[in-house]
Amino acid sequence: MTDLHDLTAVQLLERYGSGDLSPVEATRAALDRIEQIQPRVNAYSRVDGEEALRQAEESAERWRRGEPAGLLDGVPVSVKDILLMRGGPTLRGSRTVRTDGPWDEDAPAVARMRDHGAVFLGKTTTPEFGWKGVTDNPVDGVTGNPYDPGRTAGGSSGGSASAVAMGAGPLSLGTDGGGSVRIPASFCGIFALKPTYGRVPIYPASAFGTLAHVGPMTRDAADSALLMDVITGPDWRDWSQLGPLGGSFREAISAGGGSIDGLRVAYSPTMGGAAAVDPEVAAAVRRAVDLLDGLGAVVEEIDPGIEDPVEAFHTLWFSGAARVVQPLGQEQWELLDPGLREICAQGAAYSALDYLAAVDVRMALGHAMGRFHSAYDLLVTPTLPITAFEAGVEVPEGSGHTRWTGWTPFTYPFNMTQQPAASVPCGMSSSGLPIGVQLVGARHADAVVLRVAHALYGAGVAEAVPAPVG
């Protein structure tokens, strides 16, 4: 049943409905794949096969009765170990988190997936408290790239990206505070969406504040549209959530036959020189842009005209990290990732005025991008200027960067502006590593981003060599 690993969630549900496949078969196949890939990439921090099979059997019975519980009934899913999932600890990759319970609460998006009959395989790896753009932590070790385990999967949702890329469950929930679903999606050759802030409810609130989003990590855009229709449901625990949507993301990606004819697309190869882009990355992204042009979009090469907000982002991000560890005593402090200790110390040194000055930069950036999107429906950039580098380090050797933000200049600005942004696989390097193109929409234009991504998948830009398993 190795072909089951290649099926998307949409395809699984079609087979469940026709009776050609059982959720139990799909779940066993996913669990077998986890066992197969875990020594290679270390994508999962915790797996509960017995509980997953119990849920799958209950789903199979519902399908036999013709009464599926919801949109995801019987689909194997995973959850990044930042989000609460009842029945086991959420350690967040840290030795400072107590494992004793009760662990009896789901995060909002997890609760919605459970309501819709999803089968939970387990939790995926994250850097400690999700603090950086690669995935390694003091509890679980290093997570490798599906195409070369000696290279990073990216982060902070690296475990989810590796799992999805290798067929260990078609759907995963990740979090993104500076690129954390898009970075690993680009490195691992999958699709990921950072929705508009507030579109997917969050609880508990992130210490990183309104930089942090919850989003889908999937095999393609159609699966993400399906998952978005599930996880965008209201939850009273998040006071900052947006109001209800008037429609379905699944319908939106197919509206008008899925046409993007006439869509106004701005293509920025380097965001005004924010980074030197690897020539192979630049060429792959250019091909994706040419394809959008061929699909009827009106493409103009233009930069958004914004300055790199990295210092303001650092103030907000490092302050959030300092807040995460503030309750820890000296003994627990020594257990933290050394890099995390460094940024926490820096964050603790900022004043309230420093923080508010960073908020001013953020508001100006949001204003600038709002004005930009009055002329353009979509901004297209590389997701990252590079392909995956050595695993177990925060920055590429010899790059001159000191923090992960040095090589992610295209992702974190759009956490500051709260815009929807997705990474779509658009090619492979000569060394066999995936490349991603980033699609950025105006705030609340999540459906536009998904529709364009879906069109790219339909046109074949996202076809990639399957990740090796053995």
CA distances from 163 to 51, 78, 154 (A): 19, 8, 13
| Vertex 51: Cα angle to 48 and 54 (nearest 5) | 150
Nearest to 188 by CA among 410, 434, 389: 434
- Name the catalytic one among 94, 156, 162, 319: 156
Cβ partners under 8 Å of residue 262, min gap 6 = 296, 297, 298
Number of Cβ within 10 Å of residue 286's Cβ equals 18
Three-state secondary structure call for residue 40: helix
CA distances from 356 to 198, 363, 377, 419 (A): 21, 10, 30, 21
Q: Is 80 a catalytic residue?
A: yes
- Name the catalytic one among 78, 94, 160, 180: 180
Q: Contact at 8 Å (CB) between 77 and 59?
A: no
Question: DSSP assignment of 236-299, as one string?
Answer: TT-TTPPPPPSS-HHHHHHGGGG--TT-EEEE-SSTTTTSPPPHHHHHHHHHHHHHHHHTT-EE
CA–CA dist 111, 108 (Å, integer)? 5
Residue 52 CA to its chain's centroid (Å): 23
Cβ partners under 8 Å of residue 401, min gap 6 = 395, 407
Nearest to 435 by CA among 236, 182, 133: 182
- Name the catalytic one among 22, 59, 78, 80: 80
Number of Cβ within 10 Å of residue 356's Cβ equals 10
Q: Is 156 a catalytic residue?
A: yes
Three-state secondary structure call for residue 214: strand
In which residue are the tokens 């679980």 written?
140
Q: Annotated catalytic sites, by residue? A: 80, 156, 180
